[in-house]
Structure 1
Amino acid sequence: MERIKAIIEDDPASVNLDLDHDPVAQVCSPDKFGRVLGMSVGISKTSLASSAPAKKQLCQQKQQHSMLEERFGSLEPQMVTITKILLETREEVAGQQSHRRIVADSSATSNARDPTCSQSHGDSSRGMELCELINMHREVVAKGRATRANIILDATLDTPIDIYNVRVCLVIDLDRSALFGSKRTFGELHLPTAVKWPKDFTRFL
C-alpha cells in the first residue's frame, strides 16, 4: 500500500492509467483470470471498461449541476436588486401619469372657462397671439388672436388707420358690442370669426 501511495505522489496522473498500468497493477502486477483487484467477484476489466463512458457522463453532469448552482447563487442578489428597481420605476411612472392627468384636467377646466385659450396649435405656429379688443371707453369687449406684426393700413376710411385682422373667439357683451366701422354687433356673428379692429384699440396679452 505504501508503494502504491508513493507512485501516486510521484505521478498523480498515474491514477488515470488503464487497469494494466495503474499504480495497483504496477505493484501487484496486472489482473488475471477475469478478476480485478479491489473489486468483488463477477467484475471484470470488460465490464469496467463498458461502464466507463456512463461514469464519465455522470461525472460531467455533476460538474455542470454544481456550476449552475454556483452561477444561480451569484445571480440571485442581482435579481433581487433588479426587482427593486423595477418596482420603484413602476411607482415613479404611475406617479407621473397621475400628475399628467391632474394637469390635463386643470388645463381642460381653464380652457372651458376661456375659449380663447383652446385654439389649435396651428394658430400659434402662424404667430398668432392672444389679445383683447377694447372700445372707446377702454373696456374689453372681446377676446381673440392676431398676429402682432401683421398690421394693415385701411385706406377705405376717411382717415386711414392701422388695423389688425383679429380672430374673435369670445365676446363680453354680444348685444352692445358694436363692430368697428359698422352698425352691426358681435351678437350677429358666428364665432369664431375674423374681424377688423384698430391697432390702437388692440391689446396683446
Structure 2
Amino acid sequence: MSEVKLAASVRKEFGKGAARRIRREDKVPGVLYGHGSDPVHITLPGHELLMALRTPNVLIALDIEGKNELAIPKAVQRDPLKGFLEHVDLLLVKRGEKVTVEIPVQTEGDLAPGGYLLEHVLNALPVEAEATHIPESVSVSVEGLEAGASVLAKDITLPKGVSLAVEEDAVVLQVLAAQAEEPAAEGEGDEAAEA
C-alpha cells in the first residue's frame, strides 16, 4: 500500500461561512483526531485529496505546517448533487499500529451455467491490519458455484498480517437461483375471452 503525501494547514476559522470560503479556494476542511489527542482542524488541497481517496483505506502522510502525521480516512462528506468533497475526518495512526477497516471484496471467475445470481451480502470485509499494510481489496473465486452455495468470511484467503474483524461464519457472498417469470396458463386467456 502506498502513502500519499499531502500538505495541510491548521484552520483558524470555523462555521459555514469559513467552510464555504475554503471550498471556493479548491480546498477541503477536515479534522484530524485519534490517540486521545485534541482534534486538529485542518485545510487540505481539494484535487490531491480527491485523487488520494480513490484508493480505499489510503494512508495519508500529512505535513501540517512542518509537523508530520499519518492518517487514514474515517468519514468523507460529499455534495449530494455535484459530488465534490465537503469535509473529511481523518484518523491519526502510527506505524505498526493495528487498525480495523473495511476492504472491498472482488470476485473472480464465472458461476456455473444456469442463470444464477451472485449476491454480495458484504460488499466490504471488516479486517484488522497494520496501518501501513492495509490491503486494497481481497479476491474471491466464484468459479462454478451453483444456487445455494455461499462464501463465508473464514473461506477468504487474507494477506499475511491481516485478520478478520467479523465472525468467521458471516456470509460474504451467496449464489441465488434466478427467478423466471411464470407464463400465464394457456387456458386462462381463452376462458376470459368466452366470459
TM normalised by structure 1 equals 0.19
Identify, as 1 or 2, the structure richer in strand.
2
Query: Which structure is richer in relative contact order (CA contacts within 8 A, separation 6 or more)?
Result: 2
TM normalised by structure 2 equals 0.20
Is the radius of gyration larger for structure 1 or structure 2? 1
Identify, as 1 or 2, the structure richer in helix.
1
